[in-house]
Structures are given as C-alpha cells and as structure tokens.
C-alpha cells in the first residue's frame, strides 16, 4: 500500500512538544506523526492517494461537504500544533508529499523561508476583523430627496427623480463604506506587525446582513491582543452604520506565506 | 446546506467561510507532489458560487415562483 499513500502536511513547527500530539488524528481520521530536519518539525498524516491524489483531489474540492470536513480536520491539527510549539507555520490546504524523505527534502530546501516565517510568527497571533456596513444608514438620505416633487410633474417624472435620488444615495453609501473600511484597516494595521485584506465575503455564504466592506487579518503581538480588541470595540461604537466582528485567535494562515507584506486587495 | 456551512467545530466555533478564506488563500506553499494551484482555488470559488446560485434558485422555487 506504500505506493498508494502520501503524506498530508499540516504545519512546520519549532520546539514542538510531540507529547501534546498523542492520539491526534488528521484528515480522513489518520493519526499524525512528525518528520524532523535539524530543528524543524513537519506534522504529517498518511492519506490515500485514491482520495487525496492530484486528480481525485480536484474532483473532491467541488464537493463542499468533503471540503468542509477536510478543512476542519486540517485546521484542528494546525491549531493543536500551534499550541504545542514555540511557533508553527500552517501549510496551504492540500499539500501532499510522496514519502517522508520528500518532506525532509522540502524542509531542507525551504529552510530560510520557513525560519523567517517562524521568526515573524513567534509571540504573535492572527486575528480577523470583519466590518459589515448597513447601506441605508450610510446613505443617510435626505427624506426630501426621496419624497419626490409634490404636485406637478406626473408619475413618470416623480419615479425618475426618486430613482436618481436612490442611485446617488447608493453611490454615497458605497463611498462612505469604502472610506470607513480604509480607515478601519489603517487603524487596526497600526496595532499589528502585519496586516492583510481578504476578499469580501458573499453575504449569502456568510449568512450575515450588510456589505462585508472589510475582511481583514492582523498579526498582533500577544501583548497587544487586548489593545486590538479594545480598538475594535471603540471603532465599532464610533462608526455609525458599520458593525464590527472580531474572530480568532487563528493559526497564522494569512501570514505564513513568503509573499507576506504584499497586501492582498479585495478582488 | 447552509446548516452545514455554519456547523460548529467541536472545540472552536468557526464559520466555514472564514476558515476557507484562510486555508485556501493562506498558509505557506511548499511544492509537494500535490499542491493546490490558483486554478484549484478558483475551482472552489466556482463551486461556492454554484452553491449560492442553486440555493437562491431553490429559495425562489420554495417561495412559489
């Protein structure tokens, strides 16, 4: 069976307490184990290539139930590893190697990147802040504009004028929302070592009302975590028509890449 | 389906959308024999969009349209 199995990678850690991983199971319920290369520890579990090989994986990714279960299993191991190590770099979902030698080879070849990522993440935690804007509150339309002209003009003219007012109210709301989001991100990023904006979430997927104008991730010194939470409370109270949501602590998914620092703008 | 999307993890309550933002677009990329490409991640986004479309179609048909 050796030729039909691969190793699914979860995270690369430094000073990992392997006892804390005892009994831990990853994707497809397989037990996790550790592959070491001179001070770096990769956490891995065996996966069947019939399900997790390149081709089947592509098919399975289209199955949201499969994706949900796999993403949660991956995250559960990454979270446990993070708590059991001085620092841990999470791996992108679905990184599979053929054999432990290949894992050691990757650790050796990417050592400089991994070391610098570990240095960045040590003593810091990722937090998420999402901002939802209420379009109506942000437009703060003057009622006189929407009431339409009284008397003359006819229904058609009244409709057109009303429609024009609605459109400009929407534009105003969008401008306000973007300005609020930029200010929020700027203030939160000032508290963080690194910051990044994920693309806004679709309200139908998140189940949340309002425009998701900010979907930010912030890598914050552990000593400053309270300060970040306080800033979220304060900004949420200050900005009318915007609701803030703090998520985390997260494994540092958003700051593990070597493209860190390059801020990703919403698509 | 939306119930699954909001299902809670045993230890930490995490919205799946927040998790997917991170595990698909974040994490260090080591080129293993299998690595998610940008095209693969786009594929997931296509599936998510398809889900939204079919969910809203279902809503419309349930609401008697």
> For the segment B27-54, what is each residue's pLDDT rounded down to a tens digit?
888 877 777 666 666 666 666 666 656 5
**Among A67, A190, A198, A80, CA closest to A131:** A198
Mutate to test the interface with A, among B8, B26, B56 (most CBs of A within 10 A): B26
With a CB-CB cutoff of 8 Å, which residues 176-195 of chain A face chain B? none
pLDDT at A138: 77
The mean pLDDT of A168-184, rounded to a whole number, is 88
Per-residue burial over A44-77, b if 16 or more Cβ lie within 10 Å, else e, is: bbbbebeebbeeebbeebeebeebbebbbbbbbb
pLDDT at A134: 86
Asked whether the beta carbons of A27 and A52 are under 8 A apart, the reply is yes
DSSP string, B51-63: HHHHHHHHHHHHT
φ, ψ (nearest 5 deg) of residue A249: -65, 145
Query: Do the Cβ atoms of A90 and B20 come within 8 Å?
Result: no
Query: Do the Cβ atoms of A255 and B29 come within 8 Å?
Result: no
Domain positions in chain A are 2-122, 125-255
Percent of chain B with pLDDT over 70: 34
Which residues in chain B have Cβ-Cβ distances shorter than 8 Å to A264? 25
The answer on pLDDT for A61 being more than 90 is no
pLDDT in tens, A114-160: 999 999 999 999 999 999 998 777 776 444 444 444 556 678 888 88
pLDDT at A104: 95
A212 is written with which tokens?
């998701």
The mean pLDDT of A161-180, rounded to a whole number, is 84
pLDDT at A135: 79
Which residues in chain B have Cβ-Cβ distances shorter than 8 Å to A114? 28
A13 is written with which tokens?
């850690």
Q: Is B6 on the interface with A (CB under 8 A)?
A: yes
Mutate to test the interface with B, among A61, A194, A261 (most CBs of B within 10 A): A61
The whole-angstrom distance between residue A238's C-alpha and the CA centroid of its chain comes to 25
pLDDT at A142: 44
Residue B64 CA to residue B58 CA, distance in Å, equals 10
Least confidently predicted of A10-24, A106-120, A204-218: A204-218
To the nearest whole number, what is the mean pLDDT of chain A?
87
Higher pLDDT, A46 or B10: A46
Q: 3-state secondary structure string, B11-44?
A: CCCCCHHHHHHHHHHCCECCCCCECCCHHHHHHH
Query: What's the pTM?
Result: 0.81
pLDDT at A174: 85
Would you tell me how many other CB atoms lie within 10 Å of the CB of residue A230? 12
Indicate the burial class of A250 (C-beta count within 10 angstroms; 0-12, 13-18, 19 or more). Answer: buried
**Which pairs count as long-range contacts for B54-61, CB under 8 Å and 24+ apart, including other chains?**
B55/A204, B55/B1, B55/B2, B56/A204
Query: Do the Cβ atoms of B52 and A205 come within 8 Å?
Result: yes
């Amino acid at each position: 069976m050796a030729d039909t199995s691969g190793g699914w990678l979860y995270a690369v850690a430094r000073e990992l307490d392997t006892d804390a991983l005892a009994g831990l199971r990853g994707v497809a319920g397989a037990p996790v184990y550790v592959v070491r290369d001179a001070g770096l520890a990769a956490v891995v579990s065996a996966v069947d290539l019939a399900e997790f090989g390149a081709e089947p994986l592509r098919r399975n990714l289209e199955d949201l139930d499969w994706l949900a279960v796999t993403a949660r299993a991956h995250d559960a191991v990454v979270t446990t590893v993070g708590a059991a190590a001085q620092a841990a770099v999470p791996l992108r979902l679905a990184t599979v190697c053929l054999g432990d030698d290949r894992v050691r080879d990757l650790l050796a070849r990417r050592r400089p990147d991994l070391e610098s990522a570990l240095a960045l993440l040590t003593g810091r935690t990722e937090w998420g802040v999402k901002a939802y804007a209420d379009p109506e509150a942000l437009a703060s339309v003057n009622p006189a504009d929407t009431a339409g002209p009284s008397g003359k003009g006819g229904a058609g003219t009244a409709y057109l004028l009303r429609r024009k007012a609605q459109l400009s109210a929407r534009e105003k709301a969008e401008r306000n929302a973007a300005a609020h989001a930029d200010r929020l991100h700027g203030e939160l990023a000032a508290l963080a070592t690194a910051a990044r904006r994920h693309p806004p979430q679709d309200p139908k997927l998140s189940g949340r009302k309002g425009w998701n104008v900010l979907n930010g991730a912030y890598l914050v010194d552990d000593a400053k975590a309270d300060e970040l939470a306080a800033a979220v409370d304060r900004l949420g109270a200050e900005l009318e028509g915007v609701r803030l949501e703090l998520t985390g602590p997260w494994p540092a998914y958003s700051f593990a890449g070597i493209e860190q620092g390059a801020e990703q703008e919403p698509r | 389906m939306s119930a699954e999307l909001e299902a809670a993890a045993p230890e930490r309550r995490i919205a799946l959308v927040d998790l997917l933002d991170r595990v698909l677009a974040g994490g260090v990329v080591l080129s293993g024999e299998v690595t998610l490409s940008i095209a693969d991640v786009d594929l997931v986004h296509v599936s998510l969009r398809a889900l939204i479309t079919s969910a809203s179609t279902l809503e419309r048909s349930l609401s008697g349209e």
